[in-house]
Amino acid sequence: MTTKYSNLAEYFDYRGRRFAEKCTNCGDCLEACPLFPLTKSADRGPQAVIEKITDLLKGGEVSEEAYEMVFSCSGACGLCAKACPEGLIPYSAFMSAIAKLFRAGKEPPPLSYQMMPGHRYNFANVFSALQTKPSEERWIRKVPDSPEPVDVVFFTGCAPAGIPHTLLETVDILDRMGIKFVALAGGELCCGTGAMLWGDAEASQSMGQDFISSIAAFRPKKAVFFCTGCHITCLVTLPRFMSVPFQSYELTQFLVENLNRIPFANPINKVIAVHDSCSVARLGTFELTRKLLQAIPGITLVEMEHNRDNALCCGGTANAMRPEITETMRRAPLEEAKATGADILATICTGCQESFAPLEHQYPFEVRSYVSLVAEAVGVQHEDRFKPLVNGDDATQVLARVRDYVNTSDFSPEEMERILPEYLNRFCPKHGRSFP
């Protein structure tokens, strides 16, 4: 892709201006939004609220209505774009609005730190410390000087580091496939999407440039991303203002293209329903996960009522930004999975796994990443240590079970006990939990 913009801020400003110029404020986008009715601004009506957002994009005043809606957006479920009679993409313009709020000095919602790359208490840092010891990690956190070239860089992403068994399983799968690769950790290294969630385009661009140069240092032909968001950023956003010197692959795409190299050994005699994530909807790659799972002996796939580009959103980034309003969205896909009679709900996105896994005990099926199913079929499963952390115990009980992991991290038990309740309340809000 030929670069078209000088920097990321210019690109987002253009998107915001174009939207504001063409939007008629009809409100159809918010009528279709599953989150809008859950916001405090809903009683103002969709037309009034979208007008506040377009006014902000045109340089107008900062309003509470615009702030609440753009920070409630679940992160690209796409229903607003389908509903727009002008063919616009409202959720994309909302990112431009967030950038304007940032420049106006508006702070993001309080829990946004949990998604901030580089923040000491972000999800990747805290939850990897609760589940793994440094000696168990199979990835590098910093690029060495003059690294040896590899065919493939596997980039773990930020959020997946908080559910590390899936990353360990991915590394084992790639090993069994005979891929010459290096696994590079996300967290401190980030594609920049995290910074855009609170509007800092300058930080996002700096992160993106470091992200590309770090991967490029290994001179790979391909970069494979666990996180679909990283892949979209690398494939679509960053090339608009910088060169990307390698091919970008989402992990499912890479596995399907190399299906003959995956040594399936164990049948899985289960009925599986697939939850299609919003990011997969943006790519239109619904069939890849199904093709991969269908290659596993014994699996029977069933479809939920809403699937593919019509799939129900898990709540997305709103589960972190606004967890107090997303329970309805989190439960709706789980109810559809229950209706199928499936044994397992297979997730594609780490964010969806975060949304559904804490509620698994209330449903008659397991919630598992598709990667874990492939790993089981290959024979390289790792223990899921995430679910026991988020299924009802208070912080003291959780830390009593994982003290050995915490003691090998750079967090003290006292520090972790102070941090953890906000996470537990986010994962299990209003479900009869009582955390200190």
**Domains of the chain as residue ranges with CATH:** 8-107 (no CATH), 112-259 (3.40.50), 264-388 (3.40.50)
Q: Report how far residue 233's alpha carbon sits from residue 213's, in angstroms, rounded to the nearest whole number.
A: 14
Mean pLDDT for the stretch of residues 100-111: 93
Mean pLDDT for the stretch of residues 291-303: 98
Q: What is the pLDDT of residues 187-224, one digit of tens each?
A: 888 999 888 888 999 999 999 999 999 999 999 999 99
Nearest one of 410, 415, 417, 412 to 396, comparing CA atoms: 417
Pairing of strands 271-275, 222-225: unpaired
For position 150, what pLDDT does the model report?
96
For position 152, what pLDDT does the model report?
98
Mean pLDDT for the stretch of residues 17-32: 96
Mean pLDDT across the chain, nearest whole number? Answer: 92
415 has a pLDDT exceeding 90: yes
Range of lowest pLDDT (71-75, 77-81, 270-274, 363-367): 71-75
- With a CB cutoff of 8 Å and minimum separation 6, the contacts of 79 are 32, 33, 34, 313
For position 219, what pLDDT does the model report?
97
Nearest one of 402, 338, 76, 16 to 423, comparing CA atoms: 402
Q: Report how far residue 11's alpha carbon sits from residue 241's, in angstroms, rounded to the nearest whole number.
A: 8
Mean pLDDT for the stretch of residues 410-429: 90
For position 392, what pLDDT does the model report?
67
Percent of residues, the chain, with pLDDT higher than 70: 97
For residue 424, count CB atoms less than 10 angstroms from its CB and return exposed for 0-12, middle for 13-18, buried for 19 or more.
buried
For position 12, what pLDDT does the model report?
85
Mean pLDDT for the stretch of residues 123-137: 95
| Dihedral angle sign, alpha carbons of residues 405, 410, 416, 420 | negative
Collapse the DSSP code of 422 into the 3-class scheme (helix H, G, I; strand E, B; otherwise coil) and give the result.
helix
75 band by pLDDT with thresholds 50, 70 and 90: low
β-sheet bridge partners, residue 354 = none
76 has a pLDDT exceeding 80: no
For position 429, what pLDDT does the model report?
61
436 has a pLDDT exceeding 60: no
26 has a pLDDT exceeding 90: yes
Place of tokens 């026991």: 388
β-sheet bridge partners, residue 247 = 222
For position 117, what pLDDT does the model report?
82
Q: What is the pTM of this model?
A: 0.93
105 has a pLDDT exceeding 70: yes
